[in-house]
Structure 1
């Protein structure tokens, strides 16, 4: 047991506001969010296979506030990757853990996910073929793209399917579900509800934050090549990259080609075709019912929205 490990997680969902929530929660003086978002620590490999140095690296992600009462970590893969629940239940104190899920209309989430990857050069198919391409394949570490991203547009939105193991393993009072729409409309109210859930005081002054916005780049193919390079997936660098100092590697990975190739800020991705929206909504219908049973919340409004932006 290591006291500097997190005692709460934001396990998902991807493209649903987790980056914004991560930053908002870190604003609280009694919360230390990991300095690196999405470290994948609990699903990258078996905990017992980590070296002492690797465990120290993970611990150091929570050093910014050594006296923080709560330490949080956000990796959207945790919601659905195999092994996460078992790993944290074994190596952390499961009775003390809490989970905050932020969910978004699954159709909008899938479309945003698709355009996020298409906008940075990681997707070439049209939307429906892209969804069908891996519709029955749950993501895991070995399905990561060379540039360090994941597709699985449909699977990431099966909230009922992926939250059920959490409700089976943990008490319902350890799980909080918030909605992307509420975070966008009332960030201060949502943030304070999370603080209360974690047993902390509320704040009266919370900054407006909007992170990880989906963009379309002027040269997405260059962005993809740079992402592949920074993820250490080019064979030429693979034998030597492990010998680089970690600080140098971290700085290298944080470099972004958008610093050189500007974002195409005047471009917005097109609206989702109504037929595709209806098709995808029907695929999520049964899972939405399961989610309602788990959370005692209604999600009918997700499928009554006039359009997907």
Structure 2
């Protein structure tokens, strides 16, 4: 019986920072394989599964796909081609969930870590839009949802609008555990504006040939209020998504999903200037600490 292969590439977050687009982009490389579902969450939650409720007090959608057993987890990578050097897990809870860096290191000692970060105020608003789209957030005003965060008892990570943007605290265990040379830290802005350069940076980090042309990046996981809730539930169903990925090449599946989202989702208005200014002020010290920690230019996040 062939030895089961363990994942050795972890795209750990941040949530709502382009991880779906980045995982899809990297999956186009013949030596990189990402599992489906994209976020099995096994190394964050294990046997307890995903116990955190929505803002309505109901089980979050993630409770239906988070993997509890190692055998099931490893089976997700059984479809990886033999030539794949990297087997990837893109669970965005891994960045924020305490103890996960250490569990990844114990489970996959030679793992490489990729982190992509987004302006924390914009990330928070995007999370609220996503939660509204999927019915997890009952509060129709972003300001009210921010105020409710501290009152909720261990809600779904999607509803932890402020906490999930505290990147310096979340990133420190990864740098301490893996060392800076095994952690690649990217900015969402570069995925959005300079995808070709970001693709090359990722390949260099993974010791892969950087001359391979970058595929077209189709930005995914768009948020908006669904015109058809039934269609939205179908698109979110893991069985449907897995079937699409089996039947269609990765770029075509991503393009098809983006086109359906464009037609079915009515875009949310931009975040208000007042909400943005308040969050920027709250995150000011956090961003300065992160800038010193990573060496990234994050001056745009201070406004």
Pick the TM interval, shorter chain.
0.7 to 0.9
Q: What does 1:30-69 align with in structure 2 at a 5 Å threshold?
A: 30-45=31-46, 54-62=69-77, 63-69=79-85
Greater than 3 Å deviation, 4+ residue runs: 135-139, 252-256, 261-266
Q: What SS is found at the alignment partner of 2:225? A: coil
Q: What does 1:1-309 align with in structure 2 at a 5 Å threshold?
A: 4-45=5-46, 54-62=69-77, 63-93=79-109, 96-125=110-139, 126-135=141-150, 143-144=155-156, 150-202=158-210, 203-220=212-229, 251=239, 265=264, 267-304=266-303
**In the TM superposition, what is the alpha-carbon distance from 1:136 to its structure 2 partner?**
8.4
State the match for 1:243 in structure 2: none
**In the TM superposition, what is the alpha-carbon distance from 1:9 to its structure 2 partner?**
0.6
User: Residue by residue, what CA displacement relative to the aligned partner does 1:165-221 show, whole Å, maximum 9, x if unpaired?
Assistant: 11122211111111111111121221121011011112124233222111221255x
Q: 1:26 to 1:252 in 2, by over 3 A?
A: closer
Structure 1 CA distance for aligned equivalents of residues 171 and 41 of structure 2: 18
**In the TM superposition, what is the alpha-carbon distance from 1:119 to its structure 2 partner?**
2.3
State the match for 2:250 in structure 1: none
User: When the two structures are aligned, how many residues end up with a matched partner?
Assistant: 264
Q: 1:253 to 1:190 in 2, by over 3 A?
A: closer
- Determine if contact 1:15/1:113 at 8 Å carries over to the other structure: yes
TM-score, length-normalised on structure 1? 0.76
- Determine if contact 1:34/1:71 at 8 Å carries over to the other structure: yes
Q: What SS is found at the alignment partner of 2:201? A: helix
Structure 2 CA distance for aligned equivalents of residues 4 and 278 of structure 1: 47
- Determine if contact 2:46/2:69 at 8 Å carries over to the other structure: no
Q: 1:46 to 1:190 in 2, by over 3 A?
A: same
Structure 1 CA distance for aligned equivalents of residues 6 and 153 of structure 2: 27
- Determine if contact 1:136/1:155 at 8 Å carries over to the other structure: no
User: Residue by residue, what CA displacement relative to the aligned partner does 1:101-149 show, whole Å, maximum 9, x if unpaired?
Assistant: 111111111111111111232222211221122248896xxx33xxxx7
- Determine if contact 1:12/1:74 at 8 Å carries over to the other structure: yes
State the match for 1:246 in structure 2: none
User: Residue by residue, what CA displacement relative to the aligned partner does 1:273-306 show, whole Å, maximum 9, x if unpaired?
Assistant: 21111111111111111111210122111233xx
Q: 1:101 to 1:205 in 2, by over 3 A?
A: closer
Structure 2 CA distance for aligned equivalents of residues 15 and 182 of structure 1: 15
Q: 1:200 to 1:252 in 2, by over 3 A?
A: closer
Higher-Rg structure is: 1
Q: What SS is found at the alignment partner of 1:45? A: helix
In the alignment, structure 1 segments of 5+ residues that lack a partner are 48-52, 231-249, 305-309
Structure 2 CA distance for aligned equivalents of residues 205 and 263 of structure 1: 24
What RMSD over aligned residues (CA atoms) do the two structures have, in Å? Answer: 3.0
- Determine if contact 2:149/2:160 at 8 Å carries over to the other structure: yes
Q: 1:263 to 1:199 in 2, by over 3 A?
A: closer
Structure 1 CA distance for aligned equivalents of residues 94 and 158 of structure 2: 13
